[in-house]
Amino acid sequence: MIGRGHQAILEIGCGSGDLIYAIVDHAEKIVGTDISAKGVEWARNRKYLWSLSGEQSSKIEFLQMSAVQLNFPDETFDWAISTSLVEHLHPEDVSIHMHEVRRILKPGGKYLMWCPNRLGHHKDRDYHFSMLSYREWIEKLREAGFSGFRSTLTSRLPMIDAGFKVFMEQFLTALRIKLMWTHWGVRNVFLVATR
């Protein structure tokens, strides 16, 4: 989906850093950030688990950084990725984060985000402060200046207009259907937005 040949990709809230290592060949520069210094240290230390060449290793950088203050110049990255990050943001920080991501993306750059869906029958988690639905996340992204919202048809490819997921979450909620949310790919939110 992300494809290869990009100049720079950023993962925000990279945790173990495994995604960074996995997509090392997709760009000339791959940067992972995490708010925790321990997390960044952990990600760096997991390098030994991946058989990387010297060239691959030189592309990767891990930095301690808040998701609401991305210390990069404007229009630096082709893609920004966050998995299981945005639900951890303080509600007041969500909009700031979205604007920051838009700022560091190149025109036409993409923001891929994955998080639990508020409507997706998740039990409350201690660290989840911003649980929103597909419709609500799209609204937040739109307010920050993103457009062209895409998602997967079900839980897998192909990519389609994310409006279908909004319809599905509302349809399943209205009918009080609690089954099949995972199969329809609406238990969690998977969105690709374009700057």
Partner 1 sequence: MAEQKPVHEILKASAENRQLVTASLYDQAYELKLQNRADFRSKGRQKKLHSTVK
**Rounded to whole angstroms, how far apart are CA atoms 29 and 43?**
16
Number of residues that bind partner 1 (CB under 8 A): 17
Among 1, 7, 25, 36, binds partner 1 (CB under 8 A): 36
Q: Where are the beta strands (DSSP E) in the chain?
A: 6-12, 27-34, 60-64, 77-83, 105-116, 147-152, 159-161, 188-194
| Distance of closest approach, residue 141 Cβ to partner 1, in angstroms | 22
> 10 Å Cβ neighbour count for 171?
12
On whether the CB atoms of residues 13 and 42 are closer than 8 A, the answer is no
Among 18, 56, 66, 122, binds partner 1 (CB under 8 A): 66
Among 38, 123, 156, 176, binds partner 1 (CB under 8 A): 38
**Rounded to whole angstroms, how far apart are CA atoms 61 and 32?**
6
Window contacting partner 1 (CB under 8 A); options: 36-44, 78-86, 133-141, 184-192: 36-44
Place of tokens 């007041």: 92
Among 49, 58, 61, 90, binds partner 1 (CB under 8 A): 90
Q: Give whole-number Cα distances, 123 to 60, 111, 127, in Å.
A: 35, 27, 12
| Distance of closest approach, residue 48 Cβ to partner 1, in angstroms | 15
Q: Is 71 in the site for partner 1 (CB under 8 A)?
A: no
Q: Is 93 in the site for partner 1 (CB under 8 A)?
A: yes
What is the pairing mode between strands 6-12 and 159-161?
A: unpaired
Q: Is 68 in the site for partner 1 (CB under 8 A)?
A: yes
Task: Kindly tell me which of 109 and 116 has the beta carbon lying closer to partner 1.
Answer: 116
Site for partner 1 in 6-35 (CB under 8 A): 34-35
Q: Is 156 in the site for partner 1 (CB under 8 A)?
A: no
**Rounded to whole angstroms, how far apart are CA atoms 167 and 84?**
23
Task: Name the residues that contact partner 1, by CB under 8 A.
Answer: 34-39, 42, 64, 66, 68-69, 90, 92-93, 126-127, 129
